[in-house]
Amino acid sequence: GAVVSQHPSWVICKSGTSVKIECRSLDFQATTMFWYRQFPKQSLMLMATSNEGSKATYEQGVEKDKFLINHASLTLSTLTVTSAHPEDSSFYICSASGLAGGESSYEQYFGPGTRLTVT
């Protein structure tokens, strides 16, 4: 149980284009989803937190107009990187927390990540 998927697993795009990454909780209802980015040999940096049906809460220093987050259902959240630039190249990981087996859980279950390369 508690499986989270991400799509795509990797993507290469040209500078100035937008990229959408999907995060799905496959076997539980994710009341809260999180988006992280991770640079090589660094830890996870939280970008934003989203609750189903509400606007995302962004961490300080994260541009909300650049990283658009939508959490339209209890099983799906999307992150759109708008007008991507090479400095946006990173490993983006989502996680989900919520009702697993009918009980609320503090644990976050992570997706496999999406490697974004902007050329």
Partner 1 sequence: EDQVTQSPEALRLQEGESSSLNCSYTVSGLRGLFWYRQDPGKGPEFLFTLYSAGEEKEKERLKATLTKKESFLHITAPKPEDSATYLCAVRNSGGSNYKLTFGKGTLLTVNP
**Closer to partner 1 at the Cβ: 16 or 72?**
72
Number of residues that bind partner 1 (CB under 8 A): 25
Q: How many CB atoms lie within 10 A of CB 115?
A: 13
Contact flag: residue 95 with partner 1 (CB under 8 A): yes
3-class SS of residue 35: strand
Site string for partner 1, 22-41 (x = CB under 8 A): ----------x-x-------
Q: Is 39 exposed, middle or buried, given 0-12, 13-18 or 19+ CB atoms closer than 10 A?
A: exposed
Checking DSSP bridges between strand 114-118 and strand 10-13, what pairing results, if any?
parallel
Q: From the list 25, 81, 90, 113, which residue makes contact with partner 1 (rule: CB under 8 A)?
A: 113
Contact flag: residue 46 with partner 1 (CB under 8 A): yes
Pick the closest to residue 20 from 60, 61, 69, 57 (CA basis).
69
Residues found near partner 1 in the complex (CB under 8 A):
2, 4, 6, 32, 34, 42-44, 46, 49, 51, 57, 91, 93, 95, 97, 106-113, 115
